[in-house]
Amino acid sequence: MFAEALKMVSGTFDALFYVPTHVDAGREDAYRLEQILQERWQTAVGVTLAQRSPPVEPKGIWSRYFKPALGFHHVPDYLETSGEEQVKAFDSCLRKNPSFIFAQRLRCMPPLLLSHEKLPPVFFDTADIEHIAFKRSIAMPPQWRSKWLLNLQVPAILAGEKRSIALSKKTFVCSSIEKSLLGEFADIEKVEVVPNAVRIPEKRPLTSDRRLMILGQYGYAPNRIGAEYFIDKVWHLVLSQLPDARLIVAGPAPEKISQFASPPPGVEFTGFVDDLEELYGSIRVVVCPILSGAGTRVKLVEAAAFGKPIVSTRIGAEGLDFEDGVHALLRDDPAEMAEGCIALLKDDGLSHRLAEAARRLARENYESGSVARKIADIFSAV
């Protein structure tokens, strides 16, 4: 979506990616990625790859809990892009004299903050408010005796967010809730709401098959924890009422889910799915059992766009305009979530009503083309 907006205001653009240390970052690899992105985005793209700093395994309480609390650039997630080589890679891209810089996520901001070069206008896309997402993650399993000490890193992450917003001409957030939260410590006039959006696909008919789907990348802890919660706390309640129900857990890294090695009855792990449209056509209900994280879930916008009835936790639907009982069923208690799933699997009228309202909402508020035009207007104004 941001690439579409960049195309509207610039004939070409360059992309700098910070990749893990096990990924090659040579010119040949960058060229291959250029070809992929030029085909996908239908515009000229130059690609630079730079490896992140090697991750450092903390040894002892000091390096694990207290040293990261000393400052933003010591926190493990941001330490990987805070090294001399990462700043050099960024500075080399500046020699191309870009009109402006678009930085996605807080992990990409350390090189900008550490550079001594004069910067053109900067646009910063938060994707999440990361100090909130980090704080929520501390309450999630697994738990250990000293885990509460991770809270010491929250002020350091918040300080990094403050500095990044201050450096930027505009900061993009996913929802009005996040804009209000940033307004507590940042210039609210510099914050723009740009919702997660999708292209509106052809509507998929409501199938009579009692198939539910959880969709996610399970290397991301909130997705993994949410899937484990649903399988452990909710699924057996659904199965006790509807023995023919099936749960599809779709998306990469399913082996991270604790139940993967021995799936409960009726649960199927697909791994990466080549054709999501075909998968959406085969399922009845989309479930989003997210318990942590921040930002907004594009998977719910996508499910709404496909015209699928939805059951979600309230955190899962946070920041979106979904109303309980109008666009989706929002349920936090395991028994109530199970009841919502059962109702949508059995009741065609309820499923049709929620699916139609959700698709209408997606078309009005979350269509990627119109959102991309809004982003392009913001770029052009600055």
Q: Are residues 157 and 36 in the same domain?
A: yes
Q: What are the pLDDT digits (tens) for 209-236?
A: 999 999 999 999 999 999 999 999 999 9
Count of structural domains within the chain: 2
Cα–Cα distances in angstroms (integers) from residue 274 to residues 60, 108, 278, 279, 316, in the given order: 43, 29, 9, 9, 24
Q: Are residues 357 and 374 in the same domain?
A: no
The token pair at 301 is 């916008």
**Residues near 83 by Cβ (< 8 Å), separated by ≥ 6?**
52, 53
| Structural domain containing residue 66 | 2-197+370-381
Identify whether residues 290 and 268 lie together within a single domain.
yes
Q: Give the Å distances, CA to CA, from 156 to 113, 160, 162, 163.
A: 14, 6, 10, 11
Token pair 């191309």 in the structure block, residue: 96
- Residue 342: CATH number of its domain: 3.40.50.2000
139 with 258, same domain? no
141, 21: one domain: yes
Structural tokens at position 316: 């899962």
pLDDT at 140 (0 to 100): 84
Tell the residue number behind the tokens 């939805």, with chain if given.
310
pTM (predicted TM-score)? 0.82
Q: Is residue 204 part of a domain?
A: no
Q: Is 219 a domain residue?
A: yes
**With contact defined as beta carbons under 8 Å apart, do 168 and 190 qualify?**
yes
What pLDDT was estimated at residue 325? 96
Q: Please, what is the angle between helix 2-9 and helix 368-381, to 10°?
A: 50
* Distances from the Cα of 265 to the Cα of 210, 245, 271, 308, angstroms: 14, 10, 18, 24
DSSP result, 267-335: EEEEES-S-HHHHHHH-SEEEE---S--S--HHHHHHHHTT--EEE-TTTTTTS-PPBTTTBEE--SHH
136 occurs within a structural domain:
yes
pLDDT given at position 57: 85
Tell me: do 220 and 348 sit in the same domain.
yes
223: its two tokens: 């997705």
Contact between 160 and 78 under an 8 Å Cβ cutoff? The reply is yes
Do 133 and 80 reside in the same domain of the chain? yes
Residue 205 lies in a domain: no
320 shares a domain with 179: no
Residue 152 in domain: yes
The tens digit of pLDDT for each residue in 70-113 reads 999 999 999 999 999 999 999 999 999 999 999 999 999 999 99
Same domain, yes or no, for 133 and 263? no
pLDDT for res 17: 97
Asked if 181 and 358 count as a contact pair (C-beta separation under 8 A), the reply is no
Report the DSSP beta bridge partners of residue 192.
172
Q: Does 18 fall in a domain? A: yes
Mark whether 15 and 149 lie in a shared domain: yes
Residue 167: give its domain's CATH number. 3.40.50
* Residues 192 and 284 both lie in one domain: no
What are the residue ranges in the chain where pLDDT is below 70?
none
Whether residue 153 sits in one domain with residue 178? yes
**Considering the domain boundaries, does residue 203 fall inside one?**
no
